[in-house]
Amino acid sequence: MSSFPQIGALAAQARGILNGLGVSASRLEGHRAATSPLTGEVLAHVADMGAEEVEGAIARAHAAFLEWRTVPAPRRGELVRLFGEELRAAKADLAALVTIEAGKIASEGAGEVQEMIDICDFATGLSRQLHGLTIATERPDHRMMETWHPIGVVGVISAFNFPVAVWSWNAALAFVCGDAVVWKPSEKTPLTALAVDAIFRRAAARFGSVPEGLSTLVLGAREAGEALVDDAGVPVVSATGSTAMGRVVAPRVAARFGRAILELGGNNAAIVCPSADLDLTVRAVAFAAMGTAGQRCTTLRRLIVHADIYDALLPRLKKAYGSVRVGDPRAAETLVGPLIDGEAFAAMQVALEAARAAGGVVTGGERVAADALPDAFYVRPALVEMPAQTDTVAAETFAPILYVLRYSDFAEAVHLNNEVPQGLASSVFTTNLREAELFLSAAGSDCGIANVNIGPSGAEIGGAFGGEKETGGGREAGSDCWKAYMRRATNTINYGTRLPLAQGVTFDV
Ligand code: UN1
């Protein structure tokens, strides 16, 4: 039996966690309500910052940067190592707060905090590896090299669905790179941001000499985000959210020649080939499509199934969809928690209606527990068999809807994978080497993430995370993503007594 939360107890629990982590009561007073998607109840109130306050925070962050950039990088890594330790100590509390404020099931809440710990470990190691190249020069008695320097204040705009981890991918790297960070979290998740800010302060206190303003949290609505986007004192803006948001952010950052790292919408597909291991495929599809109630950028939204196995796979998927537990995300048996709010529910219904009108056959998708919880939006995940890749299928709806399409030729399946405007994550399920390699090749998936025999979601932090086309082109987390948080200087040194010019130019005065 599914269980649903009772209205009334969450505010005390959230406040208890915030208090325990050291968030001062004064930060929980303001005019804007912070609510829980579990019941719709108000957890606390917070104060929004206006543009002027954000500008002040950016100025203080810049002053902190001027100090921090001269601290040796491995020493900066020590701060991030301590932050990782503090996160380990606070993991259970922060995870519980993520569940209460963002609606994630308990294991995903814990997983999100683990992702923060992992990036701290990664960044700590990286703090001794911010390498530049030495490059052969064409001139005698010369040496040419690259040096990577801290760049300045990094603005981070994050979304509700990863309310703390996305900030940490950016911040952990930025701190070891010698930058200061100003963070504008989603208006829907201010409390988890306050908690993280308090945990960071614990690490800073242990470190001892962190300049004030190195890490600043600015709570607020659009005005606060715009102040961050438009301020020339913020050379890097890392923004995660919808493609619509990215369309606003990208040109404004570009207009002042800032650097934008964009992680926007995804419309992620998986191709299921005739040779696929169906047991594994069903499990992978279930997590990727229904996990996080379909509210990951990497959520599986389109399943492209070969006609020969369609009738074997679909009943198994329908069974998984029919039996998945929807309910209180704190309960051990629950796999699907609530949608973030009523807007998300309305958008889901609009998409399902459009799919039906285009000939789609919908299983699931209905709201549950609406009588007991009128301000919370629990839905059964929807499986939608579609006759074609219609406009609705090509759009990202941030809800648990999986559109299923049929294919007969592998090239057609790859074409369908790539036909949508977004380009974040993709997968192929096959045991055929040619199909797997073709999918990963230059002529295969056009996405930033292309997987074989695992779903498109749940990426590890060690790799570069992000995607192409309307996903925005940014990369965050592992690999060499750190380079986006630094400026590169090319240095040429003449240790001789002559002055040979490049390209053989002579200029004798
Ligand atoms: C997001 O949804 O914005 O790969 C990020 C994943 C997670 C990150 C998702 N590691 O699903």
pLDDT digits (tens, 9 = 90+) for 338-383: 999 999 999 999 999 999 999 999 999 999 999 999 999 999 999 9
- Per-residue pLDDT, averaged over 93-108, amounts to 98
Decide: 297 in ligand 1 pocket, CB within 6 A: yes
* C-alpha closest to that of 489 among 65, 148, 69, 137: 148
- Give catalytic residue positions: 263, 297
- Whole-angstrom Cα Rg for the chain: 24
* C-alpha closest to that of 449 among 288, 226, 268, 323: 268
Strands in 8-141 per DSSP E: 32-35, 42-46, 134-135
Ligand 1 geometric centre to CA of 61 (Å): 28
pLDDT digits (tens, 9 = 90+) for 282-339: 999 999 999 999 999 999 999 999 999 999 999 999 999 999 999 999 999 999 999 9
Residue nearest to atom 11 of ligand 1 (CA): 458
Strands in 439-485 per DSSP E: 449-452, 464-465, 468-469, 476-477
**The tokens 């760049």 sit on which residue?**
151
Decide: 457 in ligand 1 pocket, CB within 6 A: yes
Residue nearest to atom 6 of ligand 1 (CA): 458
CA distance 235 to 215: 16
CA distance 409 to 31: 57
Provide the greatest CA pair distance for the chain. 90
Ligand 1 probe mutation, 189, 297, 447, 481, most atoms within 8 A of CB: 297
Shortest-distance atom of ligand 1 to CA 459 = 4
CA distance 174 to 83: 13
Task: Please count the CA atoms within 13 angstroms of the CA of 326 that sit on its side-chain side.
Answer: 24
Residue 54 confidence (pLDDT):
97
Ligand 1 geometric centre to CA of 460 (Å): 9
Decide: 169 in ligand 1 pocket, CB within 6 A: no
The encoded tokens of residue 53 equal: 């306050």
Mean pLDDT of the chain: 97
Ligand 1 geometric centre to CA of 298 (Å): 6
Ligand 1 geometric centre to CA of 304 (Å): 22
Answer whether residue 405 shows pLDDT above 80. Answer: yes
Residue 494 confidence (pLDDT):
98
pLDDT digits (tens, 9 = 90+) for 278-293: 999 999 999 999 999 9
Decide: 298 in ligand 1 pocket, CB within 6 A: yes
Ligand 1 geometric centre to CA of 38 (Å): 21
The encoded tokens of residue 215 equal: 């890490």
CA distance 115 to 117: 5
In our burial notation (b when 16+ CB lie closer than 10 A, e otherwise), range 363-386 reads bbbebbbeeebeebbbbbbbbbbb
Residue 2 confidence (pLDDT):
80
pLDDT digits (tens, 9 = 90+) for 223-235: 999 999 999 999 9
End-to-end CA distance of the chain: 90
Answer whether residue 1 shows pLDDT above 80. Answer: no
Decide: 240 in ligand 1 pocket, CB within 6 A: yes
Ligand 1 geometric centre to CA of 357 (Å): 31
Decide: 288 in ligand 1 pocket, CB within 6 A: no
Residue nearest to atom 7 of ligand 1 (CA): 458
pLDDT digits (tens, 9 = 90+) for 410-469: 999 999 999 999 999 999 999 999 999 999 999 999 999 999 999 999 999 999 999 999
Residue nearest to atom 5 of ligand 1 (CA): 297
- Per-residue pLDDT, averaged over 159-182, amounts to 98
Mapped onto helix, strand or coil, the DSSP state of residue 422 is strand
In our burial notation (b when 16+ CB lie closer than 10 A, e otherwise), range 34-44 reads bbbbbbbbebb
- Per-residue pLDDT, averaged over 483-503, amounts to 98
Residue 22 confidence (pLDDT):
96
- Per-residue pLDDT, averaged over 106-116, amounts to 98
Shortest-distance atom of ligand 1 to CA 295 = 2
Strands 259-263 and 464-465: unpaired
Ligand 1 probe mutation, 113, 160, 261, 296, most atoms within 8 A of CB: 296
Percent of the chain at pLDDT above 90? Answer: 100
Ligand 1 geometric centre to CA of 258 (Å): 25
- Per-residue pLDDT, averaged over 384-402, amounts to 98
**The tokens 């925070």 sit on which residue?**
57
Task: Please count the CA atoms within 13 angstroms of the CA of 432 that sit on its side-chain side.
Answer: 14
Mapped onto helix, strand or coil, the DSSP state of residue 364 is coil
CA distance 78 to 235: 25
310 CB burial (10 A radius; 0-12, 13-18, 19+): middle
- Per-residue pLDDT, averaged over 101-129, amounts to 98
